[in-house]
Amino acid sequence: MPLSIKITFDLQPDEPLSGFELGHIEISNGIRSWSSQDKTPDQAMMIFPSIVNLLDGLRNILQSESQGKFIWVGVDSSFSISFVRGDRNKMSVFVEDVLAIDADSSQIAEWIYRPINAFLDQHIDLLQPNDPLLSDLQVAVKDFLPVLYNLNPQLPSEQDIKPQKGELP
């Protein structure tokens, strides 16, 4: 069963989207799910900087030969996910100290990246052009992609998936 991630936040209809908007992350292994929502105290996080930190941190542990663990904590929150490297490119993901999944690093990288990319596809254009998060998000994705494709050479590239500008989908 693959790991799935769902990112949500409440858009205010009368206000432009901010890079520091608070929202929630839900992670599921198909059997059980963990969410930052409905917690006391509230564990909403600044979604965009949290995504940047997640991609950067995961990239570091996937690239590093010495780093064995990466604990991601949502920005403005205490909700955390731990990534622990195992033998033979295996990686374990713990949420709230419970093992969520044990799988190949390449799969985990893809399971994390795909929903984030889909979320950004929907929302990044809603950020103001001068938003402080815009460049960080773009660079974090750009830096993560080579690691993802290096681990998953069989994956079609983004250009293969997305229609080019001017082309019909």
Partner 1 sequence: MVKRIICIAAILYLVAIPLTVRAQNEGRPPKRGESSRSGTAERDRLSQDRETRGIDARRETSAEERVRIGRERNSNNNEAKADIVRSDVDRTRNEADRNIEPRIEYGNLRWGWVHIEARHISGEHPTKGAGDLFTLGATKQQLEDAARSIVRNGERISDRFRRIQVFEKQIEVNGKADLVRVVVDSQTNNRVITIFPVRSK
Residues that bind partner 1 (CB under 8 A): 10, 18-22, 41-44, 46, 49, 52-53, 56, 60, 71, 73, 75-80, 96, 132-133, 135-136, 139-140, 143
Q: Which is nearer to partner 1, 75 or 155 (CB)?
A: 75
Q: Which is nearer to partner 1, 71 or 118 (CB)?
A: 71
Report yes or no: 143 and 56 within 8 Å, Cβ to Cβ: yes
Q: Which is nearer to partner 1, 68 or 132 (CB)?
A: 132
Residue 165 Cβ vs partner 1, minimum distance, rounded to whole Å: 23
Residue 89 Cβ vs partner 1, minimum distance, rounded to whole Å: 23
The DSSP secondary-structure symbol of 9 reads: E
Residue 99 Cβ vs partner 1, minimum distance, rounded to whole Å: 16
Residue 41 Cβ vs partner 1, minimum distance, rounded to whole Å: 5
Sheet strands (E) in 58-118: 69-73, 80-85, 90-95, 98-104
Nearest C-alpha neighbor of 102 from the set 119, 89, 113, 115: 89
Q: Which is nearer to partner 1, 24 or 85 (CB)?
A: 24
What's the rounded Cα separation, in Å, for the pair 135 and 105? 27
Nearest C-alpha neighbor of 54 from the set 144, 135, 165: 144
